[in-house]
Amino acid sequence: MRKKIMAAIMIATMTIGIVACGSSKDNNAQSTTGETAQTETEQITTVTPGKLTVATSPDFAPYEFYSVNEDGTPELAGFDIALAGYIADYLGLELEIVPVDFDGVLMEVQTKSVDIGISGLSPDPKREAIMDFSELYYVGGQSFVTSKANKDKFKSLDDTNNSNLEIGAQTGSIQVDLANTYSSSADIIQLTKVTDIVAEVLAGKLDGAYIETPVAESYAKNYPDLCIALEVPYEGAEGSAVGVSKGNDALLKGVNEAITQALKDGTMDEFIATANEKASGEIIEGLLDDNK
Contact in structure between 176 and 188 (CB atoms under 8 Å): yes
Q: Of the listed pieces 116-124, 128-136, 199-207, 264-272, which binds ligand ARG according to CB under 6 A?
A: 116-124
Q: Which parts of 5-64 interact with ligand ARG (CB under 6 A)?
A: 57, 59-60, 63-64
Shortest distance in whole angstroms from residue 106 CB to ligand ARG: 8
Q: Which is nearer to ligand ARG, 194 or 220 (CB)?
A: 194
Q: Of the listed pieces 19-27, 34-42, 84-92, 117-125, which binds ligand ARG according to CB under 6 A?
A: 117-125
Among positions 174, 209, 268, 275, the unique one binding ligand ARG when judged by CB under 6 A: 174
Q: Of the listed pieces 15-23, 115-123, 130-138, 151-159, which binds ligand ARG according to CB under 6 A?
A: 115-123
287 binds ligand ARG (CB under 6 A): no
- Burial string for 20-56 (b: 16+ CB within 10 Å, else e) reads ebeeeeebbbbbbebeebeeeeeebebbeeeebbbbb
Shortest distance in whole angstroms from residue 113 CB to ligand ARG: 17
d(CA 47, CA 33): 30
Shortest distance in whole angstroms from residue 35 CB to ligand ARG: 25
d(CA 190, CA 138): 25
Q: β-strand 65-68 against 283-284: which pairing, if any? A: antiparallel
Q: Which is nearer to ligand ARG, 60 or 90 (CB)?
A: 60
Shortest distance in whole angstroms from residue 57 CB to ligand ARG: 4
Stretch (H or E) spanning 222: helix 213-222
Q: Number of residues in contact with ligand ARG, rule: CB under 6 A?
A: 15
122 binds ligand ARG (CB under 6 A): yes
147 binds ligand ARG (CB under 6 A): no
Stretch (H or E) spanning 80: helix 79-91
Q: Which is nearer to ligand ARG, 122 or 261 (CB)?
A: 122
Q: Which residues pair with 187 in a beta bridge?
A: 166
Q: Which parts of 184-213 interact with ligand ARG (CB under 6 A)?
A: 194, 212
Q: Which is nearer to ligand ARG, 21 or 121 (CB)?
A: 121
Q: Which is nearer to ligand ARG, 96 or 212 (CB)?
A: 212
Cβ count within 10 A of residue 103: 15
Shortest distance in whole angstroms from residue 50 CB to ligand ARG: 26
143 binds ligand ARG (CB under 6 A): no
Contact in structure between 280 and 165 (CB atoms under 8 Å): no
In the chain, the amino acid numbered 186 is A
d(CA 194, CA 211): 8
d(CA 243, CA 135): 10
Q: CA quadruple 258, 259, 261, 267: dihedral positive or negative?
A: positive
Query: Based on the number of CB atoms within 10 Å of its own CB, is 123 exposed (0-12), middle (13-18) or buried (19 or more)?
Result: buried
Residues forming contacts to ligand ARG in the complex (CB under 6 A) are 57, 59-60, 63-64, 102, 119-122, 170, 173-174, 194, 212
